[in-house]
Amino acid sequence: MGETEATYSMLASEANAGALVAQRQEREKMVARRYQEPEPKRHGKHWTIVVWEDPLPDGQLKRRQRRIRLAPLDTPWRKVLRLRDERLKPVNQGMLAFGSATNFGNFVEETYVKSEMPLLAKTTQERYRGVLEDYLLPAFGTRLLGDLTPAVLQEFFSVGMANHLKMSKLGPESKDKIRDVLASVLKRAAKKYGLLDRNPMEMIRLPRSDVGKRRKMPYLTPEQFDELITLMPEPYATMVYVAIYTGLRISELVALTWEDLGCDSISVNKRYCRGDQSQPKSRASDATIAVDRHVIERIHRLKRLTVEVKAGLALRHYRLVKKDGPADLVFQSVRTGRPMRDNNILTRFLKPAGRKLGLGFVNWRCLRTSRATWLVTAGANIKDAQGLMRHAQIQTTLDVYAQHVPESQRSAIEATSKMAAGRIANAREAVRFAAVGLVN
């Protein structure tokens, strides 16, 4: 580096250092507020006060005034003053740092949605955005991050949700999702962006549900499963067959490629959901599992099949497997060979077949639950069930699905298949015997 370049570099470093010092001093000057004790004023039907705050819209520290509602007009004056002092106590004691003066709505829209949301799967983004727009922004959008104390948040989940007509009708899982989304937002604000000293959601609990945690999940018996797939055309019948004998999620089934298949195993290393390809749900989901050979054989059988599809008055024939290279999809769209959409298969084929059998609960989740239940019914070790279901926590297998020692997985899946095959054979024999009896 020449002398001139070194000089410019040194001057640039000094200039940057000076700019940082000036910026820090400016922030400290703005954060160092004067003692505030505004007199409550009548505003509409409430007593209110106007206070100074230092929000961070677009990352720029700015000072502005904000009107805060204290109490209805019929509240005694002494109580109004006490409410004012309690509200301004963190500010006057210097407890409210400049970061916590950031508006919750601004942080969500300008930082969380733009910088954090793209890191999530598309389906997760849709759910999070719905929770934010429908519940969290209406509840906290105008409040400061520093206002969201554990006491405020616990009151919201303990009392506020029950009093809010729209939220009171939500089920336990929906309320739990609201808590998870808010915890995610405040965790980023605290640990990643340094706007809060800690995440106030860490100790927040939801009220006890009327339904126990270990609630009964609907599942298919082997006999019901056999009837179900006879009512479905290919390749959808095979998708259901693979799903129930492997426990794969539908997003993992749709993303399955030929190189993922072994002679008696399947490797799960990606998922595909409605245009979004990503890595598996968790580290535990990214695994190779043992599979009965009849499952692999049924998958390869698709290469020999064609289907008829109506096109106006004509019939068109399509091969179910148009390409079978290592990176090609196993389950391909019948017409185009593109990735399938789980919701289309569910509404057009899986649910209608279930309704014909009087099984209104049939969906993709039900198939995965059935797999776990079959494992337990066949006497599989709980650790084997956890490994085959690819759950990160054994409690998930116990509480949500049914109730990994790698060397014993083979016996677990063989016992499960034997149990299911025996019950299916007995059911078919009973139907055949009944039909013969009617003829005679």
Q: What is the mean pLDDT of residues 402-421?
A: 67
How many other CB atoms are there within 10 angstroms of residue 208's CB atom? 9
- Class of domain 222-439 as given by CATH: mainly alpha
The reported pLDDT for the residue numbered 94 is: 54
Looking at the predicted structure, is the pLDDT value of residue 41 above 60? Answer: yes
Read off the pLDDT band of 347 (50, 70, 90). very high
Task: Please give the pLDDT value at position 31.
Answer: 47
pLDDT value, residue 214 = 47
Check residue 207 and give its pLDDT.
Answer: 80
Q: Which of 58, 50, 55 is nearest to 27 (CA)?
A: 55
Nearest to 68 by CA among 95, 80, 41, 50: 50
CA distances 321 to 261, 304, 305, 333, Å, are 15, 8, 8, 9
Distances 327 to 255, 256, 315, 427 between C-alpha atoms, Å: 10, 9, 30, 39
Please provide the average confidence, as pLDDT, over all residues in the chain: 81
Q: Tell me the pLDDT tens digit for each residue of 8-39.
A: 455 555 555 455 445 445 544 544 445 678 89
| pLDDT score for 157 | 87
> Quick one: pLDDT at residue 20?
43
Per residue, the 3-state secondary structure of 177-214, as one string, reads HHHHHHHHHHHHHHHHCCCCCCCCCCCCCCCCCCCCCC
pLDDT over threshold 70, residue 224: yes
The pLDDT assigned to 363 comes to 92
53 bridge partner residues: 64
How is the chain split into domains, by residue range? 1-32, 34-96, 101-192, 222-439
SS3 content of the chain, % helix, strand, coil (to 5): 55, 10, 30
The predicted pLDDT at position 59 comes to 47
Confidence at residue 32, expressed as pLDDT on a 0 to 100 scale:
47
pLDDT at 415: 82
- Higher-scoring residue by pLDDT: 196, 328: 328
Q: 4 or 321, which is more confident? A: 321
Q: Which residue has the higher pLDDT, 182 or 53?
A: 182
Check pLDDT > 50 for residue 407: no
Tell me whether strands 46-53 and 287-290 are parallel, antiparallel or unpaired: unpaired
pLDDT > 80? residue 330: yes
Q: Summarize pLDDT for 352-405 with one digit per residue, the tens.
A: 999 999 998 899 989 988 888 888 888 887 788 888 888 777 666 665 554 333
Residue 307: its H or E element: strand 306-311
pLDDT per residue as tens digits for the range 262-301: 998 999 888 887 777 778 877 878 888 889 999 999 999 9
Give the whole-number percent of the chain exceeding pLDDT 90: 27
CATH number of 101-192: 1.10.150.130
Pairing of strands 41-43, 46-53: antiparallel
Report yes or no: 414 and 379 within 8 Å, Cβ to Cβ. Answer: no
Most confident of 51-65, 103-117, 234-248: 234-248
Q: Assess whether pLDDT exceeds 90 at residue 239.
A: yes
- Between 410 and 333, residue with greater pLDDT: 333
Q: Is the pLDDT of residue 91 over 80?
A: no
Integer Cα distance of 364 and 345 in angstroms: 10
Answer whether 101-192 and 222-439 agree in fold: no
Coil, strand, or helix at residue 123? helix
Query: What is the pLDDT, as a whole number, of residue 12?
Result: 52
Using a pLDDT cut of 70, give the percent of the chain over it.
80
